[in-house]
Structure 1
Amino acid sequence: MDDAWIGELAASAWLVPVLFALVVGDAFLVVLPSETAVVALAALSATTGSPSLIAIVPVAAVGAAVGDGLCYLIGRRVGLDRWKWQRTSRIGAAITRVRAAVHRRTAVLVFTARYVPFARIAVNLAAGAGRVPLRKYLPLSIAAGIAWAGFNVAIGAIVGELLSDSPLVAIAISVPVAIVLGLVVDRVVAGLDARRASRPAGSAGTEPGPLTPPSDRR
């Protein structure tokens, strides 16, 4: 029992540009629901045919890489101690946890941070401030953005296909499914990495644990 407005919304030309802005902005403002937007638009695409999935994936991936890159550049330029929120907020706590390991575990942190609030900005700031080489950081950021976009689009599209006659229901179901599966991915990656990190003698105390509580995902 969907209203006609959902089809008009899906066909709106501004949806994809807004998605790009949300994903970029989420690198700095964790309250922006970029993940929710990607999943919802993928479900909408599967149920109504618009916007195109071919557009959603690259726009979300490029937005993620651009946002991460800007955050990296800020960290490289201003460091990790200039502003009070870098030392005292939840972002500050996340920065403390990752700054010592950003060189040793760059790939794991960049990929995992995409699914954890506050961790994305902390990891990217720490990578920039720690002078992680751009030739190492940039390919990881791009790959993480593509994986994140593909993961969320796939979930939205699959649920949308299963509920092709009910766009709003598909959106309502696909978003929490994506959140739960994202948490599973995060926990599995963190668990495997913790096991790997505990093997060298004396190294366990220097490795950060989970970046933020899973209850903060959106």
Structure 2
Amino acid sequence: MADVWIQALAASPWALGALFGLVFADSFLVVIPGELAVTAFGSVSSEIGPPLYAVIAVAAAAAALGDTSCYWIGRLLHPERWRIAARSKRFRHAHAWARRRLRKHVATAIFTARFIPFARLAVNLTAGATKVPPARYLAVAAASATLWATYQAVIGAAIAAIVPGGTLTAVLISIVVALALGWLVDAVMARFTRQATPARRGTTPLP
């Protein structure tokens, strides 16, 4: 029954629209599983879902648009003035971390943050607030969104090609692998950040 439901969802004419909406929302709300949606659609792309190139193109466009929207929100509304900035220690730490990274390594910060949910929100907002030049930001954001979408979708497609057991099995295993790789990327980047940018007095690195 679950296989039938997943196949019907993937074959729906609204499938790519739903994928776009999930990935776009994920740029603002880190509780939305954008990565998992791209991986799941990638795992069914060879048989019943939209083709892999369409999954990658739609996910990349949604990610780039979402990240760019966050950039313009930060540029126009200055998140350091928001009420949450005064109340949330995590928000202040993330904003300070992103500001330090962008000061020295704009392209690297934007590129790597796309793979870390809370970090990408902080970096995109802060890139706007610190007035990173739009042309420079947009070029890096587009490239990182494309690589991120390709990475997530190809994981799903590769797992589906290797592991037997039907659509549901491929989706579940793909999601587990994506979560594990995401955790690994997050851990490696956190370690790299601690080594490259030691915490200053009164601040802590992004957890």
TM-score norm. by structure 2 comes to: 0.88
Q: Which amino acid aligns with 2:74?
A: G
Instruction: Give 1:150's aligned amino acid.
Output: T
Q: Which amino acid aligns with 1:62?
A: A
Structure 2, unmatched stretches of 5+, are: none
For 1:211, what is the secondary structure of its paired residue? coil
Structure-1 residue corresponding to 2:51: 52
Amino acid at match of 2:61: V
Tell me the distance in 1 between the aligned counterparts of 2:3 and 2:141: 39
> CA 1:171–1:3 in structure 2 vs 1: closer, same or farther (change >3 Å)?
closer
Indicate the SS of the match to 2:67.
helix
Corresponding letter in the other structure for 1:79: H
Does the CA contact (< 8 Å) of 1:91 and 1:118 recur in 2? no
What percent of counterpart residues are identical?
42
Task: Report the AA paired with residue 49 of structure 1.
Answer: I
Could you tell me which amino acid in structure 2 is paired with residue 211 of structure 1? Answer: L
Instruction: Please list every run of 5 or more consecutive structure 1 residues that lacks an aligned counterpart in the other structure.
Output: 199-203, 213-218
* TM-score, length-scaled by structure 1: 0.84
Distance 2:122 2:4 in 1: 42
Instruction: Summarize the alignment of residues 27-176 of structure 1 with structure 2, pairs less than 5 Å apart.
Output: 27-46=27-46, 48-89=47-88, 90-163=90-163, 165-176=165-176
Is contact 2:7-2:167 (8 Å) kept?
no
Alpha-carbon displacement from aligned partner over 1:45-86 (angstroms, at most 9, x marks no partner): 23x331211110011111111001010001100112232223
Q: Partner letter of residue 51 of structure 1?
A: P
Q: What is the identity, as a one-letter code, of the residue corresponding to 1:94?
A: A
Distance 1:39 1:12, change over 3 A: same
2:179 corresponds to which residue?
179
Deviation at 1:105, TM superposition (A): 1.7
- 1:34 corresponds to which letter in structure 2? G
**Contact 2:114/2:120 (CA < 8 Å) preserved in 1?**
yes
Change over 3 Å in CA distance of 1:153–1:72 after alignment to 2:
same
Return structure 1 stretches of 4+ with deviation > 4 angstroms.
189-195
Amino acid at match of 2:128: G
Which whole-Å CA distance do the structure 1 matches of 2:58 and 2:160 have between them?
20
Letter in 2 for 1:33: P
Structure 1 residues 122 and 3: alpha-carbon distance in aligned structure 2, compared to 1, 3 A threshold = closer
| Structure 2 match to 1:216 | none
Counterparts of 1:160 and 1:114 in 2: how far apart (Å)?
A: 25
Assess, with a 3 A threshold, how the Cα gap between structure 1 residues 193 and 56 changes in structure 2: closer, same or farther: same
Partners of 1:161 and 1:54 lie apart in 2 by: 16
**2:206 corresponds to which letter in structure 1?**
L
Query: Structure 1 stretch 20-29 or stretch 185-194: which is displaced more?
Result: 185-194
C-alpha displacement of 1:188: 3.4
Deviation, 1:21, is 1.2
- How many residues matched? 205
Taking the aligned partners of 1:128 and 1:15, their CA distance within structure 2 comes to 32
